[in-house]
Every structure is written in structure tokens, then in C-alpha cells.
A = this chain, B = another copy of it.
Amino acid sequence: MTVVDIHTHVYPPTFMELLRSRTTVPYVRTFPDAPDSSRLIILPGEDDPSTPSTSRGRPIGPEYYDIAQKIAFMDAHKIDISVISLANPWLDFLPAEEAGAAARRINDDVDSICAQHPGRLYAFGTLPLSAPAEVVVEEIERLSKLKYIRGVIIGTSGLGNGLDDPALDPIYAALEKYEQIIFLHPHYGLPASVYGPRANEYGHVLPLALGFPLETTIAVTRMLLSGVWDRFHNLNVLLAHSGGTLPFLAGRIESCIKHDGHLKNHGKTEGRRTVWDILKSNIYLDAVIYSEVGLGAAIQASGSDRLMFGTDHPFFPPLEEDVTEWHSVNANYAAISASFADSPTGEQDVLGNNAVRILKLA
């Protein structure tokens, strides 16, 4: 049995340099009251001086950039292959004129990291989305020729107006043409106002547990409503965190579309591909959902041939010292095992066979 982790992040050396050179979000810094602790600040407000020191971004150490630690983590958790990806916020924040070169540098860096561990590492590439569309399209073509690249990771912002922006069409067309899957991953969350005045008391829980999956759900629903998949029948998207909440809400989304007077008057309620169509033929889901309840819905929505194991490493590390096996990883292993108690084949598919087939890892 092959175990493949398709949701596992790296900040390669070239990207760390970039983060350390900056003084605004996203960046890596220390604080005067904890000068020995580098913190990764990726969300607005995480560096607010009034934020408790333990809530200021997150500690960043070699587990984020030292590939030997990735391999050790894989070994400790019986993971044969990892498909690594740059973590958020990718290159979304770069000025247009810097993005293309940065993407080439980082993608080459990542590809060469994979080459140092043949058979164990593949990667999703990063796109220079703030650059002109033709630069993005060129990078997609270039990525398709890099030996270890198996798709691209992107956030929900697109060119700045979301993934339902028609200006993305040339990029979607290129991804379809070069058969590059999108790994769609959240970063921006929701406006802080929705969490209320006491949100700081709850650490990162609300933005991380809810903001992230809700952002993904909104992004993919906007893609659906704008007809992206009516125009690009072969555009494939792997959704982080088992689709955000898409499997659970798919029925409500369809009901709201079918009952919308405005859409009906514009001829948009019929003749379109439904969310169920997309879930079964364009969307893939990771299995990073930490419960049998959520995983069951994901399996039922997309099919056990479309789910792929992931860890979200190096995020969700154990808080205890000297723990080798991560609770977060074991929670996902346990959910998969319980969901397929009667189907060892299904379990093996989700743990690795699907990834090998879908991402052509063999």
C-alpha cells in the first residue's frame, strides 16, 4: 500500500528569504518581548501589539523550510510520497513586475528539492497571479515541463476579484490545456467583524476552523455560478479541507439556484452543470477533515475515487513536547479507517492509490 500526502506545505529557502526581507504582512519577524522566537505573520492584524503574544501569527522553525524535517515527518507517519505546496499566501502580495521572476525562482527551487528525494516528493507549483495573464500562462506551460510538478496551488483571490472573474479565462484555459490541476486553498478567511468582539479570546480557532473552509466554499460556489465549468469542462480542482463545506451545502446551493427568480428570468437555472455534476467530475477533495462525519459527506458527495489523504503539515503540530505522532494526522487516518471499515480497497484508494492515479505519481 502506498500512502500519499497531497496537502503538505513548504516554505522553500527562496520564499523564506522573501518573507524575512519584508516588514508588512506576510512576513517573518520577532517581537521585543520574545526576541528568540521567529513568528510567521500571514494574516492582517496578527501582528497587532495588543494581540496576546501566543496569538501573534505562529512560531516558525525549520519544520517550515527544512526538507529533512518533512522527510522525517513522512517516515514517522508512514507516508511514502508527499506532494508539497507553497503555503499561503503564495505570491498573491507581490507587485506585478516581481511576480513572474519570483514564481520561476520558487518553482525551480521546489522542483530541485523534489529531485533530491526521487520517488518521495512531488509538488504543486505556484503562479504569479499579480503579473499580466500572459506571464501566468507562460509559467503554467513551463510548470507542465518541470519533472516533479503536478498542478498548481492557488488561493481564492485570483487576480484580485475572486475566481469567478472572467479575466481568469485564459488562465483556466491554459490549466485545462496543460492538464494542470488546481489545488484551491484558503488564505483570506472572512472579515474579522463576523467573529465578534471576543474573537481574540479564542486564539486562532474561529478564522482557522471556520474562516478557512467558508472562504473555500464561497470561492468554489462563485466559480460554479459564473459558469467556469460550463466553459471549461476539463478544469480540475482539488479543494482543501474536504471542500470547505461544499459537500454539506451542495443540496442547499442547488435548491437556492433552482428557486432563484433572478437566475430563472435570465435563463440560468436550467441547462447548466450542477454542483453535483462538478463534484463528481471536476472536483477532487482532500481528506483533511478530522472526523468520520465530515469525511462521510465528502465521500458521498464526490465518491471514494476522488478523495486524497493529506496532513496539512507543518500546521496543527502537537502542543506537547516530544510527541512523534501528530494527533492531527492520526485524526485523519482514524476517520479514513472508520469510514472504510468494510472496504479496504476504498481505504487504500483514499490513502494513496487515488493520488498516484490522479496526479500521475507512478
In the complex, residue of chain B having the shortest beta-carbon distance to the beta carbon of A297: B297
Give every chain B residue within 8 A of A253 (Cβ-Cβ). 205, 209-210
Contact with B along A229-272 (1 / 0, CB 8 A): 00000000000011001011111111111111111110001000
A214 close to B (CB within 8 Å): yes
Contact with B along A13-40 (1 / 0, CB 8 A): 0000000000000000000000000000
A152 close to B (CB within 8 Å): no
Chain B interface: which of A105-113, A130-138, A171-179, A188-196? A188-196
The answer to whether B241 touches A252, judged by C-beta atoms less than 8 angstroms apart, is yes
Task: Give the number of residues in A that approach B within 8 Å (Cβ atoms).
Answer: 74
The answer to whether B331 touches A265, judged by C-beta atoms less than 8 angstroms apart, is no
A41-98 at interface with B (beta carbon < 8 Å): 52, 54-55
Report A315 CB to chain B, min CB distance, Å.
8
Give every chain B residue within 8 A of A331 (Cβ-Cβ). 251, 255
A293 close to B (CB within 8 Å): yes
22 A-B residue pairs with CB within 8 Å = A54-B261, A161-B196, A162-B196, A162-B197, A190-B194, A202-B263, A205-B221, A205-B263, A206-B225, A208-B256, A209-B249, A247-B248, A247-B293, A250-B294, A251-B290, A251-B292, A255-B316, A255-B331, A259-B318, A264-B319, A292-B300, A293-B300
Residues of A within 8 A of B (CB): 52, 54-55, 161-162, 164-165, 190-191, 193-198, 201-206, 208-210, 213-215, 217-218, 221-222, 225-226, 241-242, 245, 247-265, 269, 289-294, 296-297, 300-301, 316-319, 327-328, 331, 335
